[in-house]
Chains A and B, each alone.
Chain A
């Protein structure tokens, strides 16, 4: 839905002015886009960070400075979860209670906080120092349960550790850094994560290790040659849809003389996925190098990295890397003297999973609500600001330098025929060693879970695996033992897909009803609301599932849930419909007897009391 807003009667001067520094940053933001409206999200972020929340005066200021309207600002601000229209406590504690963190103890954390601090989610303590929130996946599933306190992520949390952290914060003590974070397995012959443990954040270190060499070579190649090489390599998009990258690049119109936009999707919000964060904060220059090569390949004129708003640390690191790259001439005009120019700017999202959908991302970049567009027209024809646009995932672009350096055949030597190369698999949930594992496509799933990740802890058995981010159909343990991590095997044997590479493992003490209920609540929360099947269907399914979980299930509920999934699937504007319908249908289908037992027993058959769904 396009908006071309006109401030109806002109906007008056407002009593609020931000600090000079903030104003300077706002001017930079405004200059980063061809329209002032597109700076809506950055401007709102700046104002919220300065004041603590968005006051009516701040909103009026934002409207004036972006030449939009107050209505537009509120319309946008109420869409994104991160924007606050009311003040919060000094420390905003957001506990992720989504799938993987839920499996590893987030529920205990929440209950602990409720008891210890006397607040329920959404409430602030009387002394105003702590606000408790339950939040959706913040992209750190392999080190869960995770919390975010103001701008920082705290991983591997337990109630005791959380108390430590909070006490430290309350007393104004500095937090000991570096904070414990996700495990990255040093698998052999890594491509995306090559040298990730060597701290190549600074451009000098990156160049020392061979960085930007391929860029110089690529800029001397003909763009079509790069496209053909990537196409021949069979590289597929690694954000979730697994669409062949070279094919996507070839959708751009030939002989187009206007701007061509390149958006790098760093919105990583698919539950179970946490791989792009590491690239952004540990290997930012690999991404930049890949971006420039890709931009040169399809003649992009401007590029944006759309990064999810919660990634404060990656944002700081990546922004610094960008500055370094510009300073060295690897970005901007006449890159490395090649005559090719590319501007790459960072744009932060503000808390909406739907902005990972490519057209919703474009809407959000244009400064509006992240509501997916109807396709056709496709972004390659009419995308950002109406111009041809390519959107690729962070990891996909990070593969490009190696492909260009070593050639398509080298890339195809690993992986499978239809899904060549390696990718980073994210394993979380009930495994002994959750973390990031870059392996060739086609690796058997059981090898990943049992060999690399050390199997299921506490001697329990495997019950279910989500193989590609929570939007993919679930696999029973039987199926999980038979599939390989490529789409042919995954689909023909397991009826699922590798999606975003997020592997969520569940042991035999996991209540499928409770898990699914919390998952559907996520989709309900993230639905943009444009089209009816997703908006209404997700809420309805969530209500039924919570009712069943609490012991109020009825026999007809199972058929109703199946019917809801069928009613959503295929009838929506964007793939969030399928993302809701596939887990809903597959959990109910594969574990129907457990659902039936849960209903009959009026409670979870696995636990003495009804499953405390987080």
Chain B
């Protein structure tokens, strides 16, 4: 049914609060919806419920301490945020981590991407009613969190890596653990596909729901799977390769209509491509070598040295107390996070703390299109759309 301006004058418009505390708004997302019956006449998202002042905090934390902030932005794939931050600071400092660090970070990025997509799609499916898929996907995510736990000590807020490389080496069975995951992942993904791809209910619920053209998406500032689902092939891993992406082969998943269905299966395909990337990385990851840049002005010296050599003691001390000091200047660096282009704009004044940090969070722009996407849709559709956009409050609000 068409919504016109007159509709809004209609006294039967019901204004409701959708969230911020609602099981279907994943994270603290608040929507003031004006309903005409079951349909959305107009919607106004209110953001900021999870705003923790992370950009302001950046002015008071040292560069490595900021990883505790980035962990908690897109908390479904913290490795991607952290690596994005580290890459930005490294570019500002003119520091290049050694190959081993870069390969491990590439693997971590792709694992994190899979993690993110598993949650996004799993919950999206769950909201639509497909509970089994939810559990299948979260089971795979569990395996990945176990890998991260083994590698970094934490499942969710990993505070890993560091500017200049990895803080410590990966465990000796890292490759085996990742391979074991890959072996179990394809079948699981195939299962989920089988359950949903040609599922009548799922298709009815998702095909044609909130389509968006590529132009419109770009004008909103979409990046990531939401943009690629519209048919526009834009992936920073291909356009401006970083880490080891220029040394591996992979395809970019692209949709056609940009609707919920396309967004869902673009993510599924991206997971498959991630597996491809990880397999190549595992083959090319050198078994030995330094895992951080050999400069104690950036990276902490090894502990045995700190306790026995004066220079190392002083470098450790100054790095911890003053922090690493990039030269004064500014930098913007974006990476292809799970949701799209995650960018960090850092202004350094030469001291151990940034002068200004600005985070370009991908889902901020995506979520700004939400009212347009759900206009005229029924409430239950809004849930499906929201799930497909993968709006994560931590990243949205910072």
A–B contact, 8 Å CB criterion (strictly below): no
User: Which residues of A approach B to under 8 Å, CB–CB?
Assistant: none
User: Which residues of B approach A to under 8 Å, CB–CB?
Assistant: none
